Amino acid sequence: MADVSRCQGRDAAGGSECRRRAAPRGRRDCSAHAGGSRDRGQLLLVGALALAVLFVALALLLNTAIYTGTLATRDAGGDATPAIEYVSASRSAGADAIRSVNRRNDTSTTDLRRAFVATTGRWDDLASHHRAVVGDAADVSVATVTNGTRIQQDDAGRNFTSNTTASDWTVVEGSGVVAVRSMRFTVDNSTLTSIDDAGNATAETVFHVVVDSTTGTTRTAYIYHNTSSGNAEVLVDDGGTETACPVGSVTDGTFVVDVSNASLGGASCRELGTLDDAEGDVSVEYGDGTAAGGTYTMVVEGHPTDGGVTLSELNPSGSPYWTDAIYSANLTVTYRTEELDYEATVEVVPE
Amino acid sequence: MARAQAHTLEAVAAALILVSSLVFALQVTAVTPLTGSTSSQHIENQQAAVAEGVLASAADTGSLTPTLLYWNESAEDWHGASEDGYVRGGPPTAFGATLNETFLDRGIVFDLTLYYVDDEGDRQRVRIVDLGEPSDHASTARRTVTLADDDPLRDPDRSASDTTLANASYPAPDAAPGQSLYSVVEVELVVWRM
């Protein structure tokens, strides 16, 4: 339209090339010229449109590339690793704290609890300080503490008999005893009964530990010296199947029967680990206690003041004896980051 | 008219040349390991994951704590280290060997630092390994380690010595006197490509 009016305008002014040519043909010429301008306008429009489409397509391509790059490097949601690590660190710190307050052998369950809460609180102060530096808020607090009883014999020269030197006796029993953990014997190799066949262990006078429960199987471990192999051995009877494990190494005439760790003198004995897998009303009995000697320790869940725990064949002090202990604890762990709000109650039971 | 068309075509051609030369110029720019790109972001993520994994496995196998206890009391430094810590690679312990195998042998360098809380409640640091200043694309992994009073310091041959943390002069003070807890420290591992 603009081109056409410009042509007419030039016509009116009388200076255009339309005018200089023959007047009757002037109109035709001018319209022909106007047609050419229209073509040019169309060309420009189409050109501009093509360029516009090209740029839009380019922009889309570029955008897709950038978006792909962003997606490829984006984190897959919130990162829970620090929270999980903190929980696992607080669990092991809690287990260490229980072990250490039990070892210090405080006199009452209240003292033990107070010491445990103090140690856990101090750990939390230090650990959450480190976490705060990276902008994470962490907290550990003691929710509940389960009382327990530690049963122990420290006199390495004594055999595994009761306080009245009874050979077959009940270490602990009662409706209040619901679990047993951390069972370890350090056995004097020279005190063991020698037999020539592991199959005879149940029949001969061989020291044995019986862990009985109302809901599970009765499991028995026999500790003896096998003259055929020349090694000390443990035969585990899980209420049907009998498995014998040879001792790994004997140091200074003693070896450790570690039930929690399922090891015998450092050698793995998987079946041994099942001995303390008892739940319900648990009882621990020793048989033929004269046929082995050394030291031992274990912790049972349940405390005489809570009722249902019979420890009549143990001394208040002097081997074998019992003391107050913490069996386990529940910790409430909270962990907050910019994108994560985590809270969990973890149970801490030392091995 | 033909001239105008020619001009238009010329303009389009010029625009195309301009755009393609820009694209070409972008493509021929030298890409160095420090050039920011999606690929280097990807490498950062990978290295962060590897660093976290190395720390987690060391903590799980129990090789992390002995490295932190590889302390020379009389020299008040790590065994055989300079004032800035170890400057040629990881410490000569099991964890140090893991670090060298995982990172150094693949052209990745690292800094290992121990952080502790001092008596005033401030967070202090001791360098264990110092292989230089981390680049802008470094990845960081952290691990909390609990030290106990009866943890023994290690001799130069990596065996446990008779000195326990409770009666040793260690950078971190006993943060819980009267308790068997000694302190809670943090190990920071920073890795980056050379």
Distance from CA of A130 to the nearest CA of B (A): 7
Which whole number is the average pLDDT over B33-53? 77
Domain that holds residue A33: 2-73
Higher local confidence (pLDDT), A215 or B103: B103
- pLDDT tens-place string over residues A276-323: 887 778 899 999 999 999 999 999 999 988 888 888 888 887 888 999
Give, in degrees to the nearest 5, the angle at Cα A118 between A112 and A124. 135
A209 & A340 share domain: yes
pLDDT score of A316 = 80
What phi and psi, each to the nearest 5 degrees, are found at residue A256?
A: -105, 125
- Residue B5 maps to a domain: no
Tell me if B13 is assigned to some domain: no
pLDDT of A87-101, one tens digit each?
999 999 999 999 988
| Mutation target vs A (from B180, B187, B188; most A CBs, 10 A cutoff) | B180
User: Mind listing the pLDDT tens digit for each residue in A242-255?
Assistant: 889 999 888 899 99
**Least reliable range by pLDDT among A5-19, A146-160, B63-77:** A5-19
If you write DSSP's letter for every residue of A203-250 in order, what string do you get?
A: TSS-EEEEEEESSS--EEEEEEEETTTTEEEEEEE-SS-EEEEE-S--
A128 and A6, same structural domain?
A: no
What total of structural domains would you count in chain A?
A: 2
Q: Is B161 within a domain?
A: yes
pTM: 0.76
Domain count, chain B: 1
Does residue A224 sit in the same domain as residue A272?
yes
Residues A213 and A340 in one domain: yes
Rounded mean pLDDT, B72-83: 90
Residue type, A351: E
**Same domain, yes or no, for A61 and A206?**
no
pLDDT band at B94 (very low <50, low <70, confident <90, very high): very high
Task: Please report which helix (H) or strand (E) contains residue A40, including its range.
Answer: helix A23-73
DSSP-derived secondary structure letter, A330: E
In a domain, B15, yes or no: no
Domain final residue pick, A33, A54, A73: A73
Q: Which residue of chain B comes nearest to A52, CA vs CA?
A: B12
pLDDT at A1: 40
Looking at the fold, whether A52 and A117 belong to one and the same domain comes out as: no
Query: Do A292 and A335 fall into the same domain?
Result: yes
Same domain, yes or no: A185 and A236: yes
B29 occurs within a structural domain: no
CB contacts < 8 A, A to B, total 84
Same domain, A69 and A103: no
Same domain, A145 and A177: yes
Verify whether the Cβ–Cβ distance A130 to B12 is below 8 Å.
no
Same domain, A29 and A89: no
CB B147 within 8 A of CB B76: no
Determine the structural domain holding residue B189 and report its residue range. 37-193
Query: Is B155 a member of any domain?
Result: yes
- Nearest CA distance, B15 vs chain A (angstrom): 9
Q: What is the model's pLDDT at position B32?
A: 59
Report A:105-124 residues touching B (Cβ under 8 A).
115, 118-119, 122-123
B78: in domain = yes
- Chain B's closest residue to A115, CA to CA, is B179
Say whether residue A92 is in contact with chain B using an 8 A CB cutoff: yes
In a domain, B61, yes or no: yes
Q: How far is B149 from chain A (nearest CA, A)?
A: 10
Residues B192 and B101: their CA atoms lie apart, in Å, by: 15
Q: CB distance from A38 to chain B under 8 Å?
A: no
Q: Do A66 and A10 share a structural domain?
A: yes
Which chain B positions have a beta carbon within 8 Å of A106's beta carbon?
none
Evaluate whether ipTM surpasses 0.95. no
